[in-house]
Amino acid sequence: MSRTADSDLAHLFHPYTNLVKHPETGPLVITRGQGVRVYDEAGKDYIEGLAGLWCTALGWGEERLVEAAARQMRELPFYHLFSSRTHPPAVQLAEMLAAQVPIDDARVLFACSGSESNDTAIKLIWYRNNALGRPDKKKIIARERAYHGVTVATASLTGLVNNQRSFDVPIDRIFHTGCPHYWRYGEKGESEEQFATRRAEELEKLILAEGPDTVAAFFAEPVMGAGGVIVPPATYFAKIQAVLKKYDVLLVADEVITGFGRTGNMFGCDTFGIRPDMMTVAKGLSSGYLPISALIVSGEVFGPIAEEAGRIGVFGHGFTYGGHPVSAAVAVETLKIYAERDILGHVAKVGPVLQRGLAALQQHPLVGEARGVGLIGAVELVADKDSRTAFDPKLAVGPRVVAKAQAHGVILRAMGDAVAFAPPLIISEAEILDMLGRFRRALDEAHGELVGAGAV
Ligand code: PMP
């Protein structure tokens, strides 16, 4: 093992890692990247099929972002937005975001991560309802298999067991309603339309059971990411929004993964006809080059909050590094590149190549469902395709396939037995086909092993 790997085992505390197994398997040490590829310390190259953590939309080695950071570092490496201070990169970025989002009179509040922006959204929802004299309207509904972050409050919204078990979350006033995954949760004989109606009715029942005067907001990712890349049925969001409107419940769109072209439009909200009251973005905002996130709220959301802050004397919230000038300058440059290089046009061209490739994998004996939109997708591996029977989790089929894919030079992510694809948006058609070819070899090998073991 290399000196870096040895030192890692001695000193690092890894997030999202099996901390007992890690010393046995050792770390994968990535030392550099170029385009859609990253390289390990031995020089082996990998296609980064998940754009790092769904974020590196422009791929690695984008000199314009490096230059933007260096320029801003020299000019003004730090300033903040507290106490009426401001600086040009934050203002320019806020202006650009406000012009792009499907939100009226948008106001932009910066933070450093998706979790922070979602956590801030929760606080603002509570603050606003106090301002409006309805202190009981505070409950928040998210969905099973949602991912909204890992702070105490956002891990409570996240509907995944590993983010909650043993962490003493969820906190109170947080509820979950059903996940819009038709293939997995649709009933026999139920159409997608009927399934979407059932999910909206479930939401309405939950709001009525809790009392509409106590329910403040609903959080949703347009396409659920870490929950397994769940693309909702076509009519789902229209029906959900009708329910939310009826009971004066705010809609928060978590666009941390889906923002900036991932689903083929600038925002997932555009793809699915969502008109949110609040939106959170991160990841693709800076192409992952520096940490930055934003919570964008409508004028209607902002108004009562501003008045309350006026009464109190200050809006008592903000992070030291929220809207950091270097991160903001890199984000401004990122958004300029998206526009100049017509990233949406590129996704429109190559997205179908990914989706057709994933759909073709549906013929594979291990693949129960292939799903996706734009440049995000997943295949769900199952023990029996007809009955959609899942594998015994102890077999860890998803992680096994992902490990084999890594050996073949493509980095992917398993969420249970769903394997996700979200490559850099700059990926070419040839690179997509290469990535899928490597993945198919991994699938074939895993299938051979599972047949040998009598698991399929
Ligand atoms: N929301 C969504 C939809 C996400 O995918 C993530 C991160 N994967 C987050 C929020 C949290 O973002 P962060 O890790 O930057 O806190």
Tokens of 307: 């008045």
- Residue 75 shares a structural domain with residue 194: yes
Q: Choose one of 16, 50, 147, 280 to mutate for the ligand 1 pocket test, by most ligand atoms within 8 angstroms of C-beta.
A: 147
Residue that finishes a domain, picked among 340, 371, 389: 340
Which ligand 1 atom sits closest to the C-alpha of 224? Answer: 3
Residues 206, 348: one domain? no
Take atom 12 of ligand 1 and give the residue whose Cα is closest: 114
Q: Is 115 in the pocket of ligand 1 (CB under 6 A)?
A: yes
Q: Which atom of ligand 1 is nearest to the CA of 151?
A: 16
Task: Please list the pLDDT of the chain residue by residue as tens digits (456 residues).
Answer: 899 999 999 999 999 999 999 999 999 999 999 999 999 999 999 999 999 999 999 999 999 999 999 999 999 999 999 999 999 999 999 999 999 999 999 999 999 999 999 999 999 999 999 999 999 999 999 999 999 999 999 999 999 999 999 999 999 999 999 999 999 999 999 999 999 999 999 999 999 999 999 999 999 999 999 999 999 999 999 999 999 999 999 999 999 999 999 999 999 999 999 999 999 999 999 999 999 999 999 999 999 999 999 999 999 999 999 999 999 999 999 999 999 999 999 999 999 999 999 999 999 999 999 999 999 999 999 999 999 999 999 999 999 999 999 999 999 999 999 999 999 999 999 999 999 999 999 999 999 999 999 988
Rounded distance from Cα 256 to ligand 1 centre (Å): 6
Are residues 121 and 28 both part of a single domain? Answer: no
Whether residue 295 has its Cβ less than 6 Å from ligand 1: no
**Where a domain ends, among 325, 340, 355?**
340
CATH number of the domain within which 49 lies = 3.90.1150.10
| Probe target for ligand 1 pocket from 119, 143, 148, with the most ligand atoms within 8 Å of CB | 148
| CA 440–ligand 1 middle distance (angstroms) | 28
- Residue 146 CB–ligand 1 contact under 6 Å: no
Within 8 A by CB and 6+ apart from 199, the residues are 177, 178, 180, 236, 239, 240
Q: What is the rounded CA–CA span in Å between residue 311 and residue 129?
A: 14
CA of 81 to the centre of ligand 1 (A): 23
Describe the strand order of the beta sheet including 37-40 as a list of residue ranges. 30-34, 37-40, 45-48, 410-411
Would you give the end-to-end CA distance of the chain in angstroms?
36
Q: Are residues 189 and 75 in the same domain?
A: yes
Whether residue 27 sits in one domain with residue 118: no
SS3 category, 211? coil
The number of the ligand 1 atom at minimal distance from the alpha carbon of 146 is 3
53 Cα nearest atom in ligand 1: 8
Q: Does residue 324 share a domain with residue 201?
A: yes
Is there a single domain that holds both residue 336 and residue 347?
no
Q: Which residue among 256, 258, 280 is best mutated to probe the pocket of ligand 1, counting the most ligand atoms within 8 A of its Cβ?
A: 256
pLDDT at 438: 98
CATH number at residue 102: 3.40.640.10
d(C-alpha 324, C-alpha 313), whole Å = 25
Q: What is the ipTM of this complex?
A: 0.99
Is there an atom of ligand 1 within 6 Å of 147 CB? Answer: yes
Q: CA 287: distance to chain centroid?
A: 13
**Do 29 and 93 belong together in one domain?**
no
- Give the DSSP H or E segment for 58: none
What is the Å distance from ligand 1's center to 145 Cα? 13
- Domain containing residue 109: 65-340
Rounded distance, CA 158 to CA 256, Å? 13
Q: Which atom of ligand 1 is nearest to the CA of 114?
A: 12
The Å distance, Cα 41 to ligand 1 centre, comes to 28
Nearest to 212 by CA among 263, 177, 247, 185: 247
Last residue of a domain, one of 290, 307, 340: 340
Same domain for 370 and 314:
no
SS3 label, residue 397:
helix
- Same domain? For 240 and 220 the reply is yes
> Does one domain contain both 347 and 336?
no
Q: Where are the beta strands (DSSP E) in 132-272?
A: 139-143, 174-177, 215-220, 250-254
Q: Residue 243 corresponds to which tokens in the numbers above? A: 């329910």
Could you tell me the distance, in angstroms and rounded to a whole number, from the CA of residue 379 to the centre of ligand 1?
21
Q: Confirm or reject: Cβ of 221 under 6 Å from ligand 1.
A: yes
Report the nearest-CA residue for atom 14 of ligand 1: 114
- What is the structure's pLDDT at 99? 98
Residue whose CB lies within 8 A of the most ligand 1 atoms, among 179, 257, 258, for a mutation test: 257
Q: Is 308 exposed, middle or buried (0-12, 13-18, 19+ CB in 10 A)?
A: middle
Tell me the CA–centroid distance for residue 255 and ligand 1, in Å.
Answer: 9
Number of domains observed in the structure of the chain = 2
Instruction: Give the pLDDT confidence score for residue 443 in this predicted structure.
Output: 98
Same domain assignment for residues 27 and 124: no
